[in-house]
Amino acid sequence: MANARLFLPIHWPTAGASMCGTIIQKSGPMDYMEVLFTGLDPGSRRLSPAWEESTDSCSRPLAIHRLGDMPAMDRFHWGYAPSWWKRRPVANAPLTTLLRGSAVWRPLLSQRVLVPADGWYEPAEDEGKPGQYIHASDGKPVYIAAITAWRPGNAHGKQDGLAIITDGGKYDGQERPVVLPVDAARVWVDPATPIINALGLACTPWADSSFRWRPAALQ
């Protein structure tokens, strides 16, 4: 591993852009849940009616959380705007801003969720060339770190929205999201994980042997 190239989380659309062309959520909801919570009885995992497909699914990604009394999956509003916020909802939460203790994000750090995906697209560095489709080398889902203001019982609106954690790096002017391996994702979403430990996971680059790249044209 000493000579292994480190994987840095890939590009994510900037705030306001559609996420559907970047990540792929084609597996069934329970497929995403069972990878994380293999030891749980099926009755102890909840799927909200909100997870079902809708015409608004591009701006309402599926996300896994443990904000209630059991692991659950809901569709979250993509973008967060607290009641005092005068600008458009913010879709990305830069890791550097979180580490500085931003007043916007600090209250949300204990409300960590995961956006699951089968894979995602990274654009080519050279214009006109095909981009890359990236997925886990073991075929399992990947999990994108996120935070939210939502609590069970609330509506899924912009004041209770979700924001993707980005690593602050840029690719073609775009932010890069934090993508976690399964074991790290399980720790991230655990409400018992101290905030400082969760941020440590978000700061960790993962060896690229955990992922595979292929031309996007094959997808």
Rounded to an integer, what distance in angstroms lies between the CA atom of residue 177 and that of residue 162?
A: 13
Q: Say if residues 140 and 57 touch (Cβ distance below 8 Å).
A: no
Rounded to an integer, what distance in angstroms lies between the CA atom of residue 4 and that of residue 160?
A: 40
Q: What pLDDT does residue 144 have?
A: 92
Residue whose C-alpha is closest to residue 142's, from 164, 157, 161, 111? 164
Most confident of 5-9, 150-154, 186-190: 186-190
The model's pTM is 0.78
Task: Tell which wins on pLDDT, 89 or 170.
Answer: 89
Residue 102 clears pLDDT 80, i.e. is over it: yes
Q: What is the mean pLDDT of residues 84-90?
A: 80
Q: Reduced to 3 states, what is the DSSP secondary structure of residue 205? A: coil
Rounded to an integer, what distance in angstroms lies between the CA atom of residue 184 and that of residue 116?
A: 13
Q: What pLDDT does residue 58 have?
A: 52
What single string gives the DSSP state of each residue in 10-63? --BPPTTS-STTTEE--S-HHHHHHHH-TTS-GGG-EE-GGGS--TTTTTS-EE
pLDDT tens for each residue of 58-79 = 567 889 999 988 888 888 888 8
Average pLDDT over the chain reads 75
Report residue 119 CA to chain centroid gap.
12
pLDDT tens for each residue of 182-196 = 889 999 999 999 999
